[in-house]
Structure 1
C-alpha cells in the first residue's frame, strides 16, 4: 500500500468546486474562487484511489515531453521565430514549478498585422455555447442555460427554438453544450449534440443525434442517445462536452472529471469515463482500433486518460487531435491528445487549488504526458479552432482558443509541435469568449458568454 504524505492528503481534500469557466453570475467575467472545502458528497478517497504517491514527482526518460519531428505548421527554414517578452499576464500562482522544456509557457508575444473587422451578427442569446454550420452557411447555435437550439442566418435572423430536444440539467456548468452537423448531413440530415442529462441519482454528459427537420418551425425527430458518460454522479461541474468529427467518420468527445473528489480520483481509472477523451462511431458503437479494447476492465470508448476538464478540441492538418484543458488555479494545458496516453491529472500539473493548497508534488512523472504548452495564471479556455482559411494568410495553421477568464481570443503560433508565439486579441470587447470556429468563408465566428450573448464575425478590415 502506498503511503501518502500529509501535505498531499490535505491538498487533495481541499477540492475546488468552481472554475473560471462558469462564474456566478455567469456573465461577470471574473473567476469564482471557492473555499477549497469539499461538499458533503465529495467522498473520501481510499488507499487505492489513484492519488499520486511519494515517488510521483521524479521524471523518467519517458516523462512525456513532446518531440519536435512533426508539426501543426512546420514553417520554412527562412521563417524567423518570434522573439521578445511574453504577453503580459501577471505572476504565476505556482512559481516553484519550472517548465519541463524551453517554450512550454510564456513564449514571445506576436501581433497580427491585418486590421480586423468585428461585426455583430445576432445577440440576445442566454449563455450561448457552440456554433455549427449547415451546408448553406446558416448556423446552429446552442444556449447552455436554457437548453435551446436555434438556426441563425448570416444576416442575423434567428429561428424559433428547435423543438424536440430532450431536457437538460442546466445547473452550474451543465446544460446544452456542443453541437455538430453529421458528416453525412446532405443525405441523413443528422445533427449531434452534447448535454448534461438529468438522471436518477445525479446526472452525466450524454451525446444525442437526431434528424433536423428544417422550416419555419424547425424540430428534431428520431432522437437517439448514442453515448452516456458513466458512472452517474451528482455534480454540476466539469462535464467537458466538445465533439470533433474525423475525416474517417469517427467522433471524439471530451469528458471532464466532475471536479468533486469522488470524480477527480477517477480521472486515471479506465473503468470510468471521468476525465477522459472518448472515441466512438457516429452510431455510438466502439471503433475496433480504440486503444483500451484489450483491457476487459476498461471502458472501450476511451481514447486518452488523465484529463481535468477539456472544453477545447480541434484537428490539425494531419488529422491529429489537439485539446486545451482547464487547470485549477494555474495550469491550463494544450495537449496533442494521442491514443492510450495518460495526461496526468490529478497526479501532475502546473496549478494549485483555489485555496492555495498544493495538488501536485511535481509537474512531471514517469509515463505521463507533458503539455505542449500551459498557462499560469489561467486563461480559462473554451472553444478552439486551427485556422486553415485564406482570408488571413498570416494565421495559417495557427490555433485560436476562446478565453473566458482572460476575456480574449488567444492566438498561438505553432512550429514543429511547439508553441513559439502568443497573441491576445479582441481585449477591447471586454467579453468572455465561449466559442470560436472557422466558417466556410474563412472568417472566424465567436460567441460571447453572457446573459445577452453575442454571435460575432471576424474578417479583415
Structure 2
C-alpha cells in the first residue's frame, strides 16, 4: 500500500569536541535550551559530518566528508583516527557511513564507506572494515581491508548513497549503492548502480563470498535500517519531489528512472508507479520532499511509545520526522522542527537521540525528553 503526503510546511590529533575545548559533559548534563518536543544539549561541532556510530562507554564515532574519522569520548574530548585509504572529496562524495559490528565490544570491528577515485576522472563508492584499537595513547585502525567497490566507476560526484546495515542474524552486510546521477544503470542488472547489495560475512565479520544484488531501481538511498521484525527498509531522495520510503524485498524493482512520484528537475513529467504495476511502489512518499539525511528504528526507554517507529533526520524542511510502521504500511505521525538540516540520527544508550547537523560547523546535539 502507498500513502501520499501533501504538507505545506594521519597521526592522531587531539581536539576538543567543539573543535576547541571539551564540550559540555554528559554528567551532569547541561541543557542549553528546551524547544518543542525536546530538551536540547549541544555536545560540540564537526566539519560537514555525515554519519555516526554509538560505541560502548559513551564513545561516538563521527565521519566528516572531507575524509576525517573522529572519536568522541564520554568526557567530550575528540581524537582523529588516521585512515588507511584516500577519500575523493567533492560534491556529494567524501567519507560516508560508519557502523560498528554487533560484537564491537569484543571484536572492535567497524565498517566504513567512502568515495574512491578511479581512472579518467571517474569515482565510485567503496566499503572497508578494520579493527578499532582503543588502547594506548591514540586510537587506530588495524587489519583494514577493502571488501566492496562499486562497479563501474563513473564520472560525476553525486548519488553515492553508500549507507550500511548489518542483518539481525549478523550474516550479511547490506550496502546502498546509488545510481550516481546516471539514472539508466539503475535498471541494468550488470551494474551495481541503483541497487541494494548484500555481502556475506564470516563469523569474524569479514567478507565471506561474492556480493549479491538484492533489489534494483533505486535512485539515491540515504537511509538503510532493519526494523524490529527483521525486515530491511530504505529511504531515498526523489528528484523534484517523490522522496521514498521502501520496504526492501529480494528481487524487487522500485522503478527508477522509469517511474517516480516526483518530476525531473527540468519539470518533465515522470510516470507514477501506479502506471507500471511491475514496479514496486514505495510504502510512503513525500511531495514536497523532506530531503532525508538518515534514519533509525527507535528501541529506547526514553520514549517507550515510539518503540519500533522510524525516526528520520530531514534536511528540507529541517526536522526529525516520526513514521509509524505497521507490517508493510508506513504513516507519517509527527514532525519535530529543528533549527538546521539534520544529516544523521542515532539512539544513545539511555534512549536519548543524537543528531548531527549538516555542513561546516554542524553541531552534535542530544535530544532528550523535556
Question: TM-score band, normalised by the shorter chain?
Answer: 0.7 to 0.9
2:77 counterpart SS class = coil
Written as runs of structure 1 = structure 2, the 5 A alignment for 1:24-423 is 65=1, 88-89=7-8, 115-123=37-45, 125-144=46-65, 146-159=66-79, 161-201=80-120, 202-214=122-134, 215-249=136-170, 250-259=172-181, 263-282=182-201, 283-286=206-209, 300-360=211-271, 363-423=274-334
Query: Post-superposition shift, 1:361?
Result: 6.5
Query: Post-superposition shift, 1:247?
Result: 2.0
2:188 counterpart SS class = coil
Contact residue 444 and residue 459 of structure 1 kept, 8 A: yes
Which residue matches 2:17?
none
Which residue matches 1:424?
335
Q: CA RMSD in A?
A: 2.1
How far apart, CA to CA, are the structure 2 residues paired with 1:366 and 1:193? 36
Which residue matches 2:30?
none
How far apart, CA to CA, are the structure 1 residues paired with 2:6 and 2:301? 26
1:136 counterpart SS class = helix
Query: Post-superposition shift, 1:337?
Result: 0.6
Query: Post-superposition shift, 1:172?
Result: 0.2
Contact residue 346 and residue 360 of structure 1 kept, 8 A: no
- Deviations 1:31-85 (CA, angstroms, capped at 9, x unpaired): xxxxxxxxxxxxxxxxxxxxxxxxxxxxxxxxxx479xxxxxxxxxxxxxxxxxx
1:149 counterpart SS class = strand
Greater gyration radius? 1
Written as runs of structure 1 = structure 2, the 5 A alignment for 1:428-447 is 429=339, 431-447=340-356
How far apart, CA to CA, are the structure 2 residues paired with 1:305 and 1:195? 21
Provide the aligned length of Structure 1 versus Structure 2: 337
Contact residue 310 and residue 322 of structure 2 kept, 8 A: yes
Distance change (3 Å), C-alpha of 1:280 and 1:320 = same
How far apart, CA to CA, are the structure 1 residues paired with 2:175 and 2:39? 33
How far apart, CA to CA, are the structure 2 residues paired with 1:242 and 1:190? 17
1:456 aligns with 2:335: no
Query: Post-superposition shift, 1:191?
Result: 1.1
Larger RCO (CA under 8 A, 6+ residues apart): 1
2:344 counterpart SS class = strand
- Deviations 1:78-133 (CA, angstroms, capped at 9, x unpaired): xxxxxxxx78426xxxxxxxxxxxxxxxxxxxxxxx9421111111x111011112
Which residue matches 1:60?
none
- Deviations 1:137-178 (CA, angstroms, capped at 9, x unpaired): 30000001x20001112342211x101331111110000010
The alignment's TM-score, normalised by the length of structure 2, stands at: 0.86
Contact residue 286 and residue 301 of structure 1 kept, 8 A: no
Contact residue 100 and residue 109 of structure 2 kept, 8 A: yes
1:394 counterpart SS class = helix
The alignment's TM-score, normalised by the length of structure 1, stands at: 0.70
Query: Post-superposition shift, 1:443?
Result: 1.1
Query: Post-superposition shift, 1:182?
Result: 1.7
How far apart, CA to CA, are the structure 2 residues paired with 1:437 and 1:422? 19
Which residue matches 1:47?
none
Query: Post-superposition shift, 1:281?
Result: 2.2
